[in-house]
Structure 1
């Protein structure tokens, strides 16, 4: 019985490694765009890194682990950038990164959805992000309620719902 259990465990482990081995690893290209808008405030994050494993034929083996450097925020206004990094908003000194770690992928009519944990301003919440993958570019648009992550104070000049638009060209690693 122990031998049978060992053989089954070995086969399952081998199958997991085998499945992962065929998922394509992608390297982020230089012309990515991580843009946000909330009412009259908009901008980009200039520094984005991560590991991307994706294959439309192996969604179970696909995985995204990405990070945005909060200090790379660029609204086109130096004073606004400084204010965004301050303790009243992102508190970049205490929370220097925004991360997303995928848990699962699903095929949808228009493309795909990735579900995972978004960690922002020390708060981790599960979200789902719709995206497409065409011409070696991941692209998606989604919304985040900044109040869910305790970023800024509710109300004011910045809308509570922040729209994010992501375009990440990739090349095979």
Structure 2
């Protein structure tokens, strides 16, 4: 009888684990917004995808693996788009993606923080991104120094663009099946 109870308990734990995993997977909706702003530059990325596993009660099992396609940069100006994709800036041909892979999540007084590796233009740096998660929408903002990622220079017209670029994001998600 003890063996039967143990088997039933083990089966119940596996069943609950399956539901926990199911409830933490999210699909990124098409109406996301990844916007960047700096002096003399602003725009957004039109193509963004990734894997989102997030559970507010199980931060240790949460994971982000996200990608924005450099070719999808949209500044509202054809020439700026062309220059942004060129080898003097993002070099979309050589570095087609901007990626972020999480390593740790934590709860804060204002929401959450995720620590991970941001890879831009072949340069990978650890960053911390604060965010909120309300009504199945991830929202937050952070800044990057473009020169840390070898984006542009401080020569010629490039020096008119601010070093610090602010990124604002709003990423609605739906439960993945």
Shorter-chain TM range is: 0.7 to 0.9
Match of residue 158, structure 1, among 152, 158, 161? 161
Q: What is aligned with 1:94?
A: 94
Q: What is aligned with 2:43?
A: 43
How far apart are 1:112 and its partner, in Å? 0.1
Alpha-carbon distance in structure 2 between the residues aligned to 1:50 and 1:90: 20
CA RMSD of aligned residues (A): 1.8
Q: What is aligned with 2:144?
A: 144
Q: What is aligned with 2:73?
A: 73
How far apart are 1:21 and its partner, in Å? 2.5
How far apart are 1:22 and its partner, in Å? 6.0
**2:23·2:175 contact (CA, 8 Å) conserved in 1?**
no
Which stretches of structure 1, 4 residues or longer, exceed 4 Å deviation after superposition?
A: none
How far apart are 1:102 and its partner, in Å? 0.1
For normalisation by structure 1, the TM-score amounts to 0.87
Structure ranking higher in helix proportion: 2
**1:111·1:133 contact (CA, 8 Å) conserved in 2?**
yes
Q: What is aligned with 1:172?
A: 175
Runs of 5+ consecutive residues of structure 1 not aligned to the other structure: 1-13
**1:23·1:58 contact (CA, 8 Å) conserved in 2?**
no
How far apart are 1:156 and its partner, in Å? 1.2
Specify the structure having the higher radius of gyration (Cα): 2
For normalisation by structure 2, the TM-score amounts to 0.86
How far apart are 1:63 and its partner, in Å? 0.3
**1:130·1:140 contact (CA, 8 Å) conserved in 2?**
yes
Q: Does 1:118 align with 2:88?
A: no
**Count of residues in correspondence between the two structures:** 159
**What whole-Å deviation, never above 9, does each CA across 1:20-78 have from its counterpart, x for those lacking one?**
73661000011100000111210000000000000100000000000000000000000
**1:23·1:62 contact (CA, 8 Å) conserved in 2?**
no
